[in-house]
Amino acid sequence: MAAVTYELKKTCKQSGARLGTIHTPHGSIDTPMFMPVGTLATVKTLSPEELEDMNAQIILSNTYHLWLRPGEDIVQEAGGLHSFMNWDRPILTDSGGFQVFSLSDFRNIKEEGVHFRNHISGEKLFLSPEKAMQIQNALGPDIMMALDECPPYPAEESYMKASVERTSRWAERCLEAHQNKETQGLFGIIQGGEYEHLRKQSADDLISLDFPGYAIGGLSVGEPKDVMNRVLEFTTPLLPSHKPRYLMGVGSADSLIDGAIRGVDMFDCVLPTRIARNGACMTNHGRLVVRNAAYARDFSPIDRDCNCHVCRNYSRAYIRHLIKSNETFGFRLTSYHNLYFLLDLMKKVREAIMEDRLLDFREEFFEQYGFNRP
């Protein structure tokens, strides 16, 4: 029995969107869905109980970061990530190092793997497909990601072609090195940049390896949104409809809706918790920077149309005061609200697909949120 399976439940009549359920050893996940990011085995400032309260179905953690701190051996001795962080729902690990790999000064990609610097100590490190699998097998997530190269944007077509071919060879090496096939699913990552024929080549290579799910990589790396949407338009149809599709690193409200419309099932992004720590909040009426002086005497909730615990119990004035005072509780309140907002948005997206009205929902949401119309 495969560790991770996907059940396609309904295809939207208005668009390429679909409803499904991903079954994993730690539970099932209704899609399309958003994954809160817990880089160092914690979704910053929030407890597992709070994540369950807001109906987070799955969270993401980072291979590279946990390899460095505390080390996958310690997590393994704790019984794996679920025991270590007291989270008994599904977990997905990605590299989390794509910034390090692509941005670090000393970064050298060879056939055997990637050489780069530890972003904390500066010491030289080496990560191969086999090492990435050994770390993830030790961490014990329900879904692991094959090691790939995420080229910078833009990239020369010749560079991208060579990179896609190496990523396909690395994907095969990851499959060979995979130890716990019965309890951990391994997803392949499609690359190819904005080149349609390279996306096809990458998809064909990885589909032939029969992964239980596929990620669309190489996006949300600085390209304009219309480029991302165009790449999704011709890439998602290349992927099997009976397997999940995961768009890596995407998490703004408009991109989640536009990705779902194009057939994406899974999303992750640090955006909601990262901007929260800067005192910025996602609301149904656009972004609200609650630390601004304008809110000093504003005793209304962050978002009058949000039903979360924070919006029902705390005011903008109070949260602004905490953020300005650098009070941890302030960051907890903005982080809780932002994650709730995106998880609730994906619930509304699933409902809209069920009622075959996702494009209408997009119009309404974009209008209310103030996104410039297409």
Nearest to 217 by CA among 171, 253, 179, 185: 171
Annotated catalytic residue within 204, 268, 303, 305 = 268
189 binds ligand 6JX (CB under 6 A): yes
Spatial separation of the C-alpha atoms in residues 370 and 374, rounded to whole Å = 12
Report the residue number, 22 or 135, with the smaller CB distance to ligand 6JX. 135
Among 12, 58, 125, 145, the residue binding ligand 6JX under the rule CB under 6 A is 145
Residues 146 and 95 sit within 8 Å (Cβ to Cβ): no
Spatial separation of the C-alpha atoms in residues 311 and 14, rounded to whole Å = 33
Q: Is 258 a known active-site residue? A: no
248 binds ligand 6JX (CB under 6 A): yes
150 binds ligand 6JX (CB under 6 A): yes
Least distance (Å) from ligand 6JX to the CB of residue 148? 5
Determine which helix (DSSP H) or strand (DSSP E) holds 364, and give its type and residue range.
helix 358-369
Annotated catalytic residue within 94, 148, 265, 303 = 94
One character per residue 268-287, x = contact with ligand 6JX (rule: CB under 6 A)? --------------------
Scanning 65-73, 196-204, 219-227, 315-323 for contacts with ligand 6JX by CB under 6 A, the matching segment is: 219-227
One character per residue 71-110, x = contact with ligand 6JX (rule: CB under 6 A)? -----------------------xx--x------------
Spatial separation of the C-alpha atoms in residues 116 and 138, rounded to whole Å = 22
Q: What is the DSSP string of 258-317?
A: HHHHTT--EEE-SHHHHHHTTTEEEEBTEEEETTSGGGTT--S-S-TT--SHHHHH--HH
Report the residue number, 65 or 316, with the smaller CB distance to ligand 6JX. 65
Q: Is 360 a known active-site residue? A: no
Scanning 30-38, 144-152, 285-293, 349-357 for contacts with ligand 6JX by CB under 6 A, the matching segment is: 144-152
Among 57, 220, 252, 334, the residue binding ligand 6JX under the rule CB under 6 A is 220
Report the residue number, 145 or 257, with the smaller CB distance to ligand 6JX. 145
Residue 138 neighbours by CB under 8 Å, 6+ apart: 72, 73, 75, 76, 80
Size of the site for ligand 6JX (CB under 6 A): 17
Determine which helix (DSSP H) or strand (DSSP E) holds 31, and give its type and residue range.
strand 27-31
DSSP bridge pairs for 246: 215, 266
Residue 46 has phi, psi (to 5 degrees) of -115, 150
Spatial separation of the C-alpha atoms in residues 337 and 347, rounded to whole Å = 15
Spatial separation of the C-alpha atoms in residues 205 and 345, rounded to whole Å = 34
Peptide bond before residue 154 is cis, with ω within 30 degrees of 0: yes
Among 148, 194, 265, 303, the residue binding ligand 6JX under the rule CB under 6 A is 148
Which two three-digit tokens encode residue 301? 């909730």
Least distance (Å) from ligand 6JX to the CB of residue 214? 12
142 binds ligand 6JX (CB under 6 A): no
59 binds ligand 6JX (CB under 6 A): no
Binding site for ligand 6JX (CB under 6 A): 63, 94-95, 98, 132, 145, 147-148, 150, 189, 217-221, 248-249
Catalytic sites, residue numbers: 94, 268
